[in-house]
Structure 1
């Protein structure tokens, strides 16, 4: 653990002070596909966990969504699957209030034998990207917005999700009112428990709103001047929502498009940059809402967006979210106070000037998604890329032919990347693409019920 023994002891004492009867500690991380993986240790091993860390094979960050290893670029079977040291992240040892037994949890990050960050961990991909801003004396300030669905614990007769039974009416929800307070009231107990659990775990949450479909909500996370922490909060928040939902007899999903007829769930990122004096360099002053640096940052993100699609939409289901005229961006576009564009620039106080990146689905890995956005921002600033004219009106009328809206095409585009490989590392981009291509091989190999219904008698 990178902090001192005194800090470790203090953190352990604080956590055990909140939960003195803790019986175990969950040690976990978020993998390439955003799946939380880890181990549960008895509480009498807490000192060992915090002191020397625990061991995991590095290939755990190269598994597909189902947890299978495909040995991408010789990582897994071919190299003997060596272990790395998994070190607790300071500040993440907290109680788990939704657990059936008294339980603590702590987030992990992997290190090589020389204590350098493990190359293939998504969190360390983000770390490498942040380093480019540190060299410029700039700090990204980041906040995430996550949409999610509460669903019934039982699937329907077609093995598909269905809306939950409303705690208020006792009836299954079939409709909603966006920003409707009655929906927030109906699920007030579970939403309150989510907020309480987030507070206990140090996850800074804000406004809660009902979204565009039955059981769909959004809870905002506060901005922090630490991109790693912002992405950590996103991972922790997903775990909280799923855990609390289960405690209330429901399930929660961050699937991008769980219902074909209802809105998808997005992951929106709010990003600004401050210099060493604490000034927001995106603020153009009284005469102009956008500084030249902000305009260049927008240009860089839009220029790199075709390469980033494989991270912003990592699964076949992710692409079902992209449709015209539903406030999901389908073009490389930007504008002021325009929710149809890919990059929205909210107006208001200049010190809060920021980019709202609206392309990613809620199923995206937060570390890789944020890294792709920051890479685009740095690329635009250093190369002074012109973003083109701002968009007026609806930017979601037609698909942008320069973007890929199929997973195979996005992965093919990523494999020829010329921007993101400079930030992520060429080997990481190549290995990520190989892993997801193999996942697509397995996905496309399954025969679906629709396939039988359409083609079994079509001879």
Structure 2
């Protein structure tokens, strides 16, 4: 513990030396809906925390709804006195923030690794899954891919507007995959990539996607699942900030335009043993098929995680590569679980169903639980789409149905934690009901 504190203290002191103009550091963590919460600390107080002073925030901050409100969930929020819970600093995440008007730093905090972790904190949920796999001799390597849209900074009547082409000044309203779009928006994209790298994120490929103003950023493969999810979370925060600095609005909203493709979170996962052997490639790839079968079996019960809000369900069955049934296939982007072409060393699955605004910690936890269950059950999957284009099993396409399917699933309750499943499902149920409490103008047009 003393060595851990000395490492953190050295990190904070090095940061202060390299960034003497930074007076405050945002200590941040991801809540259940995937938003950052936290506190802004004077940097000298951060040094005390690094040296061992307690760091406490309200436990129920994790339970905030998508609009920041608190819901009554069991005894939480209104019958528990709103207690504090310990957090700790995540080593290696103290970085400068370059999109604010004043010099600032930020650092991740978490309850995992403390004496009393919060059972429903997303990072803690993933940490427990990874720890269990490690005890089984299974070591995941993970790479996220995130799609997002750029919009004009100003909304019009509350609606997003196409991003303006910096060269022509015209709206970028043509769906395409042209490489020229990367050149036209190079200033903001280059800043996003460099800012991500400054945050310690391994950015690789940048792609212009099909939707107008839509792009995809790929991250490097990482042998630390927590760090891979940290990268995805931090990238969303920095990308929004950099976009605003350049006069745009960046959004990871799942389906901002009905007529154009939605934005997804694709997750590549391979599994290795302690000697570095790819477990999915052994025994004529039977473990790969078993892992796929487990993913597909649990997928219908994980829909509140993969599609965490009303809008995310709109993305399913869209115009491009968005499945409507739990399916798999080799080199097939219409499948929920795609097996990219690779050599045995790099054999992996690509899970393509989650929306870009899903919580990366929970998405990865759900995928890993599916893989784990498949390796344990050793069942054969349904036919791949390469053999049968109609292959697949149904999954819920509405939030309340999805919540019911998740809450009663015994494998998820066991492997993700019953307390987490209950809290998460009630959070999603309450968010959905709150969303329904506003009458849309269309209702008046149809029924007034």
Tell me the equivalent position of 1:197: 195
Where does residue 49 of structure 1 map in the other structure? 49
Q: Say if 1:144 and 1:234, in contact at 8 Å, map to a contact too.
A: yes
- Displacement after TM superposition at 1:326 (Å): 1.9
- Mark the runs of 5 or more structure 2 residues left unpaired by the alignment: none
Aligned residue number for residue 312 of structure 1:
306
* Deviation, structure 1 residue 402: 2.6
1:419 aligns to what SS in structure 2?
helix
> How many angstroms apart in 2 are the aligned matches of 1:116 and 1:25?
25
What SS does the aligned partner of 2:111 have? strand
Q: What is the DSSP-based 3-state SS (H/G/I as helix, E as strand, rest coil) of the residue aligned with 2:140? A: strand
* Number of residue-to-residue matches in the alignment: 447
1:231 equivalenced with 2:229 (yes/no):
yes
> Aligned partners of 1:431, 1:90: CA distance in 2, in Å?
28
Does the aligned pair in 2 maintain the 1:345–1:355 contact within 8 Å? yes
CA offsets, 1:290-329, max 9 Å, x none? x111111100000001111110001000011012552112
The corresponding residue for 2:172 is 173
Relative to the length of structure 2, the TM-score reads: 0.96
Aligned-pair Cα RMSD in Å: 1.8
Give every structure 1 segment of 4 or more consecutive aligned residues whose post-TM-superposition deviation is greater than 4 Å: none
- Once residues 110 and 237 of structure 2 are traced to their aligned partners in structure 1, the CA distance between those partners, rounded to angstroms, is 17
1:86 aligns with 2:87: yes
User: How many angstroms apart in 2 are the aligned matches of 1:53 and 1:389?
Assistant: 54
TM-score, structure 1 as length reference: 0.94
Task: Report the 3-state secondary structure (helix = DSSP H, G, I; strand = E; otherwise coil) of the residue aligned with 1:38.
Answer: strand
What pairs up with 1:243-282 in 2 under 5 angstroms?
243-282=241-280
Q: How does 1:8-47 map to 2 (within 5 A)?
A: 8-47=8-47
Cα separation, partners in 2 of 1:334 and 1:111, compared to 1, 3 Å? closer
How far apart in 2 are the matches of 1:237 and 1:330?
Answer: 28
Residues 55, 86 of structure 1: 8 Å contact kept: yes
Pair 1:314–1:133, CA change in 2 (3 A) = same
Render the CA deviation track for 1:237-269: whole Å, top value 9, x for unaligned.
Answer: 101101110111111100000111111000000
- CA offsets per residue over residues 332-388 of structure 1, 9 Å max, x none? 111110111011001122211100000100010011111110001000101112112
Shift of 1:16: 2.4
Measured in 2, the distance between the counterparts of 1:3 and 1:177 equals 52
Following the alignment from structure 2 to structure 1, what is the Cα–Cα distance between the partners of residues 233 and 439?
A: 32
Distance of aligned partners of 1:111 and 1:359 in 2 relative to their CA distance in 1, 3 Å threshold? closer
Of residues 324-333 and 263-272 in structure 1, the stretch that sits farther from structure 2 once superposed is: 324-333
Of 423, 432, 442 in structure 2, the residue corresponding to residue 431 of structure 1 is: 423
Structure 1 residue 272, shift from structure 2 partner: 0.4
Output one character per residue of 1:100-141: Cα deviation in whole Å (capped at 9) or x when no partner: 1111110010269x7232212111111111122112111011
Find the counterpart in structure 2 of residue 104 from structure 1: 105
The correspondence for 2:186, drawn from 188, 195, 198, is: 188
